[in-house]
């Protein structure tokens, strides 16, 4: 089963590129740029990765991002993640980035986008890695700040497939960002939003009705509202679920309590993703292996989860068919 899960071709739809910054690279870039970190060593950084909630994680996450100043920094961070994808048979990735984390420090949005996109292009040229880029608004900031960020990004719209919503969920409902999302859709962007991770099911309703999202990021608290679950099933609305993240941030106490397979069995279009893998203890394969260890994930369930992620990807029908063919060929070869 381990070999099956590791070799399974996958898509990742919920990955914060700043959350893939491993401590070793964080220190290397910090040293290169003369940015002092509030940690003495790589070991100290890892020791700090004990979180009781989303906010405790975000405090450290933003500290780590302070080392990122130049195109090369964003390129190196992104390429390190893409190499992990290659090693773990992730053939398509849809990557979130948080421009406000950088522009609020005086880094130009073009520096961020050019650095990330340079790595995406090189990975595509070198080993055929497929990818898309999604700009996320920080929800602890204002709706006006989100709109301003959207306007800054418009000159780069050809490189960005959609917009999303992340950061501190509780107390920052999706409705706060309706105007920015309306404008984003007018400009041709697809929309996604974090909802129902720490926030209530009501936030998922708002993301669907007010932000008109194509996917819900996390969404695990939907299970508290049967009418919502029924709607998600009826609309085939994908949930980009992040198992190891949910445990690390105490959304569930332990993996055996996770509701991902329960939702899958009910007919919800759930997918598996790694969220902020440098902070949460694992990339895609580690998430699948954790589900197998704690919930006895079967090959059939794993294939369904991967199929869901290909179906939910923001790609053309011909690209999607190519992904499905690779999956089917793998399953036939591993019967």
What distance in Å separates the CA atoms of residue 176 and residue 155, rounded to the nearest whole number?
Answer: 25
In the DSSP assignment, the letter for residue 267 is T
pLDDT of res. 283: 98
List active site positions.
197
Note the pTM of the prediction, 2 decimals: 0.97
pLDDT of res. 17: 98
Whether 86 and 131 have beta carbons less than 8 Å apart is answered as: no
Domain count, the chain: 1
What distance in Å separates the CA atoms of residue 231 and residue 235, rounded to the nearest whole number?
Answer: 6
What distance in Å separates the CA atoms of residue 18 and residue 138, rounded to the nearest whole number?
Answer: 13
pLDDT of res. 58: 87
User: Splitting the chain (335 residues) into consecutive groups of 10 residues, what average pLDDT does each group show?
Assistant: 98 98 95 92 89 89 94 98 98 98 97 98 97 97 98 98 96 98 98 97 98 98 98 98 96 98 98 97 97 98 98 98 98 95
Residue 117, CB-side half-sphere exposure with 13 Å CA sphere = 15
Residue 21: give the domain boundaries: 2-333
- The number of beta carbons lying within 10 Å of the beta carbon of residue 233 is 14
pLDDT of res. 38: 87
- Reported as a single tens digit per residue, the pLDDT across 33-66 is 999 988 889 999 888 888 888 889 888 998 899 9
Whether 311 and 287 have beta carbons less than 8 Å apart is answered as: no
Edge-to-edge strand order for the sheet containing 190-195?
10-16, 90-97, 130-138, 162-166, 190-195, 215-218, 239-241, 270-272
Say which CATH number the domain at 39 has: 3.20.20.140
């Amino acid at each position: 089963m381990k070999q099956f899960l590791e070799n399974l071709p996958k898509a990742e739809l919920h990955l914060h590129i700043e959350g893939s910054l491993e401590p070793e690279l964080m220190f290397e870039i910090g040293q290169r740029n003369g940015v002092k970190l509030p940690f003495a060593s790589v070991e100290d950084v890892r020791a700090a990765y004990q979180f009781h909630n989303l906010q405790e994680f975000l405090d450290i996450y933003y500290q780590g991002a302070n080392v990122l100043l130049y195109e090369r920094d964003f390129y190196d961070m992104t390429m390190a993640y893409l190499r992990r994808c290659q090693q773990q048979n992730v053939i398509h990735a849809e990557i979130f980035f948080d421009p406000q984390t950088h522009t609020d420090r005086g880094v130009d949005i073009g520096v961020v986008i050019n650095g990330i996109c340079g790595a995406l292009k090189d990975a595509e040229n070198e080993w055929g890695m497929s990818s898309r880029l999604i700009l996320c608004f920080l929800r602890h900031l204002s709706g006006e700040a989100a709109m301003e960020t959207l306007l800054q990004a418009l000159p780069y719209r050809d490189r960005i497939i959609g917009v999303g919503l992340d950061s501190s969920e509780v107390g920052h409902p999706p409705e706060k960002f309706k105007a920015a999302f309306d404008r984003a859709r007018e400009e041709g962007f697809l929309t996604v939003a974090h909802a129902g991770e720490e926030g209530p099911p009501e936030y998922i309703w708002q993301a669907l009705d007010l932000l008109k999202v194509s996917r819900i990021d996390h969404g695990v608290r939907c299970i508290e509202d049967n009418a919502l679950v029924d709607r998600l099933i009826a609309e085939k609305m994908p949930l980009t679920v992040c198992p190891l993240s949910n445990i690390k941030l105490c959304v569930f106490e332990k993996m055996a309590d996770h509701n991902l397979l329960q939702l899958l069995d009910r007919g919800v279009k759930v997918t598996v993703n790694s969220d902020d893998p440098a902070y949460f203890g694992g990339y895609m394969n580690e998430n699948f292996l954790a589900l197998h260890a704690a919930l006895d994930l079967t090959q059939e369930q794993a294939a369904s989860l991967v199929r869901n992620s290909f179906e939910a990807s923001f790609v053309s029908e011909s690209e999607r068919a190519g992904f499905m063919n690779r999956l089917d060929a793998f399953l036939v070869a591993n019967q």
